[in-house]
Amino acid sequence: MLQNSAAARQADREQLIHSLRRHATWMRRRSIQMVFEAGQGHPGGDLSAIDILATLYFGILRYDPKEPNDPMRDRFVMSKGHCTGALYTALAGAGYFPEEELTTYLKPDSLLNGHPNRTYLPGVETNTGPLGHGLPVSVGIAIAGQIDAADYRTFVLTGDGELQEGSMWEAAMLAGHRKLDKLTAIVDRNRLQQGASTEETNALEPLADKWRAFGWEVIELDGHDHAALFDTLGAPAAGKPRCVIAHTVKGQGVSYMRDQAGWHHGVPSPDQYSQALAELVLEEPLA
Amino acid sequence: MNAAPTPAPGMFDCRDSYVRTLEALAGEDRRIVAVVNDSVGSSKLGKFREMFPDQLVNVGIAEQNMVGVGAGLANGGKVPFVSGAACFLTARALEQIKADVAYSKANVKLCGISSGVAYGELGATHHSIEDLAWLRAMRELTVIVPCDPSETAAAIRAAAAMDGPVFIRISRMPVPELDHSAPFAIGRAERMREGGDITIIATGTLVYRALAAAAILDRQGIAARVINMATITPLDEEAVVDAARETGAILTAEEHVVRGGLGGAVAEIVATRHPVPMRILGFDGFQPTGSAEWLMERAGLTSDGIARSALDLLAQRGT
């Protein structure tokens, strides 16, 4: 059976927000452990996206991990497919596969590929990795829902640097044209791409104006504020697709990784790993 | 785009068969959706749009998005037929075909229209004679090149019935309806003429020309086997090995460059399983402007040209 955000919303809101925070802390600890043990990964982007994924998977999305292909499920597409630390901890936490599977991350023949593969892992909607793919696929999902007048929603998380890919704007144009109001694109606006800041590389600003010009509703918020994320991502449709520009910090939650382009695919030393875990305190274990 | 020549009596444009079949399928199964890049006209989908307005998605001139949207529609339970000029569909959106469709095992049917040198005068940008090479590199993508209207219809139906990614190469070059020895099945070569001296393996628009070439050779006392290789991936390897073993020489013919297409696929099997002399007939690189038929003739892709190549090959083999 689809678990429903409406049910979640009936619960005490404060309690829910608290639970989102705990899920996010658990995901941060677990994803850094994955990167540390695998000796590679993309921790900076994982940490900037985790609060968004925690809010979606533990507060917003309707899904049943036992029925990953339920036609009426809400869809989440990870367009910034390299941030698998964030995605895999969300899927494990959501019950799509046992948490122990996370220990195989990037090992030979692991189901936890460096970029998500739907044929390996339940809960992955489409294979991503090359940038610029997630939004077109999400637009296709939303069009299928529009044709069927179905009420499922489609969420896609894109990197901000990824918006330099032309295919994203092809898709954005079509979504605006078709008024796909059950589609939400979330931009992980950490302002850093692999080598430098987005604004130095190929400026995205004025970013909100660009989305508006393509026919989207635009909401900007703090991408680490679970309450704001929960309220905005759960808000009713507005007759057009919604773009949430989530202002985030790459490496959020670990002091020495914060806002450092070098941690795009850095790996912590043993001392740094201990420090990261010490900074990310999980007051009580997740149920 | 330039207008397609009106086929001579007894000759057909396979796009007509494609759209009639798609119209029939769309009425039977509402999951069928045509996805186009402003190519309603060149894909001949005007009537489809009138009949099933809710089952046609026009993304505008945006091939990367078109293929990504196709993958998304499949995720949403649709059976998308993503239809555009083969040159743009396959080249512009190759990474989407790889990641969103083939690697994701999305149930998307890619229809490359007016493939080969059909757009002869428009030049090499509009010729699609590299598509089989880059698509054939992905084992996970089924690749079908029908040779006539009935095989086109059968291929469209087979693609719709199968769960998984398929590319169908649909020519607008006039071809006749051929006599088939067996119903079309994905992955099965069709032996269209028996013969023990040499085998001509052809695909798409070259099949009827290969049959005419075999008739020319017959008059010279040479019995050529003709195989219609409608499925390029997965290739019917046993048909190739049997041909090598039983006839000792193989000539391939395709409306494609001589690198990496049908000839390459056949050569891989011949070289590794039963080496025999071979010749690969096709285009040698980017082609100049000129009518499609002139380009075919220039490359020896006519019944006379195929017969001549067969004789050369047999002379080389020393029989």
CB contact under 8 A, B100 and A126: yes
Contact check, Cβ <8 Å, A127/B104? yes
Residue-level pLDDT at B319: 58
Answer yes or no: do A148 and B55 touch at CB < 8 A: no
Residue B5 in this model has a pLDDT that exceeds 80: no
Report chain A residues touching chain B, CB-CB < 8 A. Answer: 71, 75, 117-119, 125-130, 132-133, 135-145, 147-148, 150, 166-167, 170-171, 173-174
Q: Is A151 exposed, middle or buried (0-12, 13-18, 19+ CB in 10 A)?
A: exposed
Q: What is the pLDDT of residues B238-257, one digit of tens each?
A: 999 999 999 999 999 999 99
Q: How far apart are CA A258 and CA A248, in angstroms?
A: 10
Beta bridge partners of residue B113, listed in sequence order: B85, B170
pLDDT (tens digit, 9 = 90+) per residue, B289-298? 999 999 999 9
Distance between CA A251 and CA A254 in Å, rounded? 6
The whole-angstrom separation of Cα A224 and Cα A20 is 11
pLDDT digit of tens for each residue in chain A (287 aa)? 566 555 555 568 999 999 999 999 999 999 999 999 999 999 999 999 999 999 999 999 999 999 999 999 999 999 999 999 999 999 999 999 999 999 999 999 999 999 999 999 999 999 999 999 999 999 999 999 999 999 999 999 999 999 999 999 999 999 999 999 999 999 999 999 888 899 999 999 999 999 999 999 999 999 999 999 999 999 998 999 999 999 999 999 999 999 988 888 899 999 999 999 999 998 776 75
Angle A219-A225-A230 from CA coordinates, rounded to 5°: 65
- Predicted ipTM of the assembly: 0.95
Q: Is A205 exposed, middle or buried (0-12, 13-18, 19+ CB in 10 A)?
A: exposed
Pair B283, B177: CB distance under 8 Å: no
B161-189 confidence digits (pLDDT tens): 999 999 999 999 999 999 998 999 999 99
Q: Which domains does chain B have, with CATH numbers?
A: 11-176 (3.40.50.970), 190-317 (3.40.50.920)
Domain spans of chain A, in order of start? 13-279
Q: Which residue of A has its CA nearest to B65?
A: A136
**pLDDT at position A283:** 75
Shortest Cα distance from A150 to chain B (angstroms)? 10
Burial code (b: 16+ CB inside 10 Å, e: under 16) for A8-35 equals beeeeeeebbebbbbbbbbbbbbbbbbb
Q: How far is CA A24 from CA A27, A181, A234, B36, in A?
A: 5, 28, 18, 41
pLDDT in tens, B44-82: 999 999 999 999 999 999 999 999 999 999 999 999 999
Q: What pLDDT does residue A6 have?
A: 55
User: CATH 3.40.50.970: does it fit domain A13-279?
Assistant: yes
Is B74 an interface residue toward A (CB < 8 Å)?
A: yes
Beta strands B250-257 and B278-283 are parallel
Structure confidence at residue A8 (pLDDT): 55
Do residue A174 and residue B70 have CB atoms under 8 angstroms apart?
A: no
